[in-house]
Amino acid sequence: MHVVSRSEGSQTNPFQETFERLRARRWEQARTSAKQRVARLRKLREAIVARREELYQALYADFRKPAAEVESTEVLVVLMELDHALKHVAQWMKPRRAATPLLLAGTRSQVRYEPKGVVLIISPWNYPFQLTLAPLVAAVAAGNCVCIKPSEKTPHTAQVMARLIQDVFDPSEVVVVQGGAAESQALLELPFDHFFFTGGARVGRKVMEAAARHLAGVTLELGGKSPAVVDNTADLKATAERLVFGKFINAGQTCVAPDYVMVPAAREEELLGHLREAIEHAYGKTEEARRASADFCRMVDDAQFSRVNGLLERSVAQGARVALGGTVDAASRYIAPTLLADVKPETAIMEEEIFGPVLPVLRYDTLDDAVRFIREGSKPLALYIFSQDDATVERLLADTTAGGTCVNTVVMHLTSAELPFGGVGESGLGNYHGEFGFRTFSHERAVLHQGPLFLLKNFFPPYAGRAGKLGRIASRLFE
């Protein structure tokens, strides 16, 4: 099995040998045809389908994730990404013709897509399969050699992925490195051609520093406090159902989960009522039923449980009202689906991305107030707008920024291979999915061919004669 541990190798860096093996294959991999890349991706698809049950068991063992949720949020998303790449990779690989400006008459130009080379993918624990395999699909489609570092917080899933990669790829094409922070740091010391990281901003900064040291490309898929804005025209029942789905799937441990909801003060209680009904329908009518629900997973580890529970306790102590939920169990890392009302901007729950099953509801008086509040925070990964008024939607799109936005739904933009997925500012740098992912892992190389007609010779020195005059005449054409 080509799963690498820190003990491998006798070099100063324990993964130097692994890196060199990938780099030795880099040029051969770059020359692979569309047919060869399709064959690799198809083999990967077949291996995923064959391991569905293993993935269900692994993700349940890691944090009690329901099989149906594994299927819809992990397996299905990756299969969709694979099918899109299988259909389009040949077209993506073709050189793109570029127009010829007048002064370059006699030439022809194109943009060629060439692989970056050897790339590192550091993936997170919250969607460990999807957020490892989706960027891998793009990197392989683009013709790269790949080193994968999955999260140590989901070890069972990491083991399944390692076996899957072993069966699909040659160890000189794709390799899995397991371990924790020390292993990640050792990998960041190596001169990869592109660093792709999904996780938090603190580690994201370290990845960006490493990329800067190597003058390499970097993609950061981070997170942040993604707001949902509800206006007076919204269908509150439908809004509540969709917010509950987006917030409490994966127990709130979703980078694009609605982090908090802003609602007109006059409609707050009505929305809270619909949110309660939606939670009860999804997970059970009583606290006991919700705790026993097979459809609600757990916090991934004790540290995550303690962090979210601490935010909840401090918020309640500061005056936030528990409108539903609020119960916890440290032994099983359970935090109930929780609604918080009477939340103020300075409440503890608003200090950082929650990344857990607590949904704060904030009141606003005017849309100007909502816009101002969103702008005062860091740029979010997602913004969710619930409104039947086109003018309101356009106002929020024009006056805010976010990595992505959904109108009258949540999270769904993440599933489309036709849309770029990524953040802005604190929520990330760069994007991927579909052709956007192919381009992320490719270098766009400009190529210009000179034909027999060579007009530029007339601009060569000496400049005292015709060349100088032609230069001045040409410049005036663009005044």
What CATH number does the domain containing 414 carry? Answer: 3.40.309.10
Same domain, 202 and 238: no
Instruction: For residue 448, tell me if it sits in a domain.
Output: no
Instruction: For residue 462, tell me if it sits in a domain.
Output: no
Instruction: For residue 477, tell me if it sits in a domain.
Output: no
Instruction: For residue 14, tell me if it sits in a domain.
Output: yes
Same domain, 402 and 300: yes
Same domain, 80 and 169: yes
Is 221 designated active site?
A: yes
Please write down the HEC assignment for all residues of the chain: CCEECCCCCCCCCCCHHHHHHHHHHHHHHHCCCHHHHHHHHHHHHHHHHHCHHHHHHHHHHHHCCCHHHHHHHHHHHHHHHHHHHHHHHHHHHCCEEECCCHHHCCEEEEEEEEECCEEEEECCCCCCCHHHHHHHHHHHHCCCEEEEECCCCCHHHHHHHHHHHHHHCCCCCEEEECCCHHHHHHHHCCCCCEEEEECCHHHHHHHHHHHHHHCCEEEEECCCCCEEEECCCCCHHHHHHHHHHHHHHHHHCCCCCCCEEEEEHHHHHHHHHHHHHHHHHHHCCCHHHHHHCCCCCCCCCHHHHHHHHHHHHHHHHCCCEEEECCCEECCCCEECCEEEECCCCCCHHHCCCCCCCEEEEEEECCHHHHHHHHHHCCCCCEEEEECCCHHHHHHHHHHCCCCEEEECCCCHHHHCCCCCEECCHHHEECEECHHHHHHHCEEEEEEEEECCCCHHHHHCCCCCCHHHHHHHHHHHHCC
Residue 37's beta-bridge partner residues?
none
Same domain, 347 and 402: yes
Same domain, 302 and 367: yes
Same domain, 243 and 391: yes
Same domain, 207 and 237: no
Is 297 designated active site?
A: no
CATH number at residue 199: 3.40.605.10
Same domain, 64 and 187: yes
In the chain, how many domains are there?
Answer: 2
Same domain, 239 and 191: no
Query: How far is the C-alpha of 476 from the C-alpha of 449, rounded, in Å?
Result: 27
Instruction: For residue 473, tell me if it sits in a domain.
Output: no
Catalytically annotated residue among 255, 297, 353, 435: 255
pLDDT tens for each residue of the chain, 479 residues long: 344 544 444 458 999 999 999 999 999 999 999 999 999 999 999 999 999 999 999 999 999 999 999 999 999 999 999 999 999 999 999 999 999 998 899 999 999 999 999 999 999 999 999 999 999 999 999 999 999 999 999 999 999 999 999 999 999 999 999 999 999 999 999 999 999 999 999 999 999 999 999 999 999 999 999 999 999 999 999 999 999 999 999 999 999 999 999 999 999 999 999 999 999 999 999 999 999 999 999 999 999 999 999 999 999 999 999 999 999 999 999 999 999 999 999 999 999 999 999 999 999 999 999 999 999 999 999 999 999 999 999 999 999 999 999 999 999 999 999 999 999 999 999 999 999 999 999 999 999 999 999 888 887 888 777 777 777 777 776 76
Query: How far is the C-alpha of 409 from the C-alpha of 241, rounded, in Å?
Result: 9
Same domain, 190 and 270: no
Instruction: For residue 465, tell me if it sits in a domain.
Output: no
Instruction: For residue 207, tell me if it sits in a domain.
Output: yes
Same domain, 177 and 263: no
Same domain, 144 and 188: yes
Instruction: For residue 467, tell me if it sits in a domain.
Output: no
Catalytically annotated residue among 69, 81, 173, 221: 221
Domain span at residue 280 reads: 227-422
Whole-structure pTM value: 0.94
* 462 upstream amide cis, omega within 30 of 0: yes
